[in-house]
Structure 1
Amino acid sequence: MSEEQGGANSIPPGRPVGRWEDLRKRVVSAVVLVAVGGAEIWLGGPSFAVLVVLLTGAMVWELATMTAPDHHNTPLGLAALAAVSLGAALFIADPFATAFLLVPALAIALTDRRDRRLSSLYSVAIMVAGYGLVDLRMSAGTPVILWLVLIVVASDVLGYFVGRILGGPKFWPAISPKKTWSGTLAGWLGAGLVGLGFWLAGYGTPALVALSVAIALAGQMGDIWESWIKRRCGVKDASSLIPGHGGVLDRFDALIGALVALMVLGLVIDLPLPGVAAG
């Protein structure tokens, strides 16, 4: 989600918008998300996978709804298709099963909606992120997922507060007009501190600090990518499912970017992940 942007759709018409107008709803929703997500990350197993599958389906539904003509189409069938496809990719014991991650993109490309190529590509990113989150939890354990989530949270929280307090030049005003360089740099600092903390706690090497900053940048790009889609579609939020945060995509857009970057990097180099020996 954009660092300095909140749930704009929740503000009554005519009411002045303050810098902290959306903070209360954001905090309450964040507490609920942290409680549920934290418990599932700790437990892992089928319940965690089911939660990720459901969230992935919700994000594909939001994407399909945003990009539908006049936003009147609510394609629940696409959400179900995404959930079933991700479940098949995760639980069918065949390396070619990952091809199921492309099924929602094909469905989006063949239906009537704006920016089909961009929407199809973003649906692939959503599916890859969902797959990567479950796969990392099963193969690498809790420390990696905790590290990844803390990077995204630290980047978002520090970016939100520093961006609102300091303001300053915009990072990419044409796409995300409320994101500032001060908030962006604060996000990198927060991610670096997370990496440093894991290293000092014995869960990584010094290289983890640099990787943390790189993953934070990828998360910020995920945020900007979703902002670009929303701007092209003429909407402020992906949906209103999460009070103070907008939709599921608005809350997890940075995590999508971070996970996609982590999955791609992992294909070409041995990553210094927390608690995972290089091999």
Structure 2
Amino acid sequence: MSGGSWTDLMPRVVSAAVMVVIGGAAIWLGGVPFAALVILAVGAMAWELARMTAGPGTVPATVIGLLAAVAMAGLVTIPGYARLALLLVPALVGSFGNRRDPGLYVAYALLIMLTGIGLVLLRELGIVMILWIVTVVVTSDVLGYFAGRSLGGPKFWPAISPKKTWSGTVAGWIGAALIGTGFFLAGYGGISLIWISVLVAFAGQLGDIAESAIKRRAGVKDASNLLPGHGGVMDRFDALSFAVVLVMILLFILLPQGFVGG
């Protein structure tokens, strides 16, 4: 273990502490404060995605970010199913011009919007649900970071994410299982919550790899420098995005009876 591998730890810790305070307060309050934070995050991620995939004649990234934020605001305020058309706004508008990897852009732009509306809908189901998802993803990420840096070993997918190791990946699964066990023992779900937590953690890890692929194709280290020590908002929400979409599929399609309550 070289000392240089930990040089980003302090800014990561400080920045993470600020995010925990702001995010924790928004989750606790729910309603407008939580929706407002989601809207800001969605706008920032859409801006970052548009910047990384920009090409000749494409709509400016700032415009895409603003459109995404406005569309997200409409999704959380306009009643009825017609509002779901707003999910497509950033993807469709951003597809104009010669954008690099247009298919990848459209898919990820839609994912960003689904993440936003998913977070709002899941928070409306109760604070336990959103706390479980966030705790699983954060625990998996933190344990994966420290285990990967400390233990090293074979790479999980070196062609796309050179830093991600099997030791970190498995550590993330173990952490997720422990979180699922904790919520189960606290009476907030059945025993299936343990393996579902692992599945959610794995989805988050795939989200991290997917964003790494986008950055690799764009030739950048981070999506942006909005978050000191963490890069961009996409760099922090990539895992949560895939996790939220998976939970939405499980909750509303495959397991409509639910698996987290209270």
TM-score band by shorter chain is over 0.9
Contact 2:192/2:259 (<8 A) preserved: no
Q: Counterpart amino acid of 2:149?
A: R
Secondary structure, counterpart of 1:112 in structure 2? coil
**Alignment map for 1:37-52 (pairs within 5 Å):** 37-52=23-38
Q: Alpha-carbon deviations, 1:215-234, whole Å to 9, x = none?
A: 00000111011000000111
Give 2:67's aligned residue.
81
**Alignment map for 1:51-200 (pairs within 5 Å):** 51-69=37-55, 75-138=61-124, 140-200=125-185
The Cα shift of 1:266 comes to 2.6
Secondary structure, counterpart of 1:240 in structure 2? coil
1:219 aligns with 2:204: yes
Counterparts of 1:258 and 1:148, CA distance in 2: 7
Secondary structure, counterpart of 2:164 in structure 1? strand
Q: Counterpart amino acid of 2:51?
A: T
Counterparts of 1:242 and 1:130, CA distance in 2: 19
Secondary structure, counterpart of 1:178 in structure 2? strand
Instruction: Calculate the TM-score normalised by the size of structure 2.
Output: 0.95
Secondary structure, counterpart of 1:19 in structure 2? helix
What is the RMSD computed on CA atoms of the aligned residues? 1.6
Counterparts of 2:115 and 2:177, CA distance in 1: 22
Give 1:241's aligned residue.
226
The Cα shift of 1:270 comes to 1.8
Give 1:10's aligned residue.
none
Counterparts of 2:78 and 2:170, CA distance in 1: 42
1:18 aligns with 2:1: no
Counterparts of 2:103 and 2:160, CA distance in 1: 18
Contact 2:72/2:86 (<8 A) preserved: yes
Secondary structure, counterpart of 1:18 in structure 2? helix
Contact 2:59/2:93 (<8 A) preserved: no
Farther-moved stretch of structure 1 (239-248 vs 72-81): 72-81
Unaligned runs of 5+ in 1: 1-15
Unaligned runs of 5+ in 2: none
The Cα shift of 1:17 comes to 7.0
Give 1:12's aligned residue.
none
Q: Counterpart amino acid of 2:35?
A: A
1:162–1:109 distance in 2 versus 1, CA, 3 Å: same
Contact 2:59/2:97 (<8 A) preserved: no
Counterparts of 1:273 and 1:36, CA distance in 2: 27
Contact 2:251/2:259 (<8 A) preserved: no
Counterparts of 1:27 and 1:193, CA distance in 2: 23
Counterparts of 1:236 and 1:227, CA distance in 2: 9
Counterparts of 2:225 and 2:67, CA distance in 1: 22
Give 1:257's aligned residue.
242
Contact 1:65/1:73 (<8 A) preserved: no
The Cα shift of 1:111 comes to 3.1
Instruction: Calculate the TM-score normalised by the size of structure 1.
Output: 0.89
Secondary structure, counterpart of 1:245 in structure 2? coil
Q: How many residues align?
A: 259
Secondary structure, counterpart of 2:225 in structure 1? coil
Where has structure 1 moved over 6 Å in runs of 4 or more? none
Secondary structure, counterpart of 2:6 in structure 1? coil
Counterparts of 1:247 and 1:218, CA distance in 2: 20
The Cα shift of 1:89 comes to 1.7
The Cα shift of 1:273 comes to 3.1
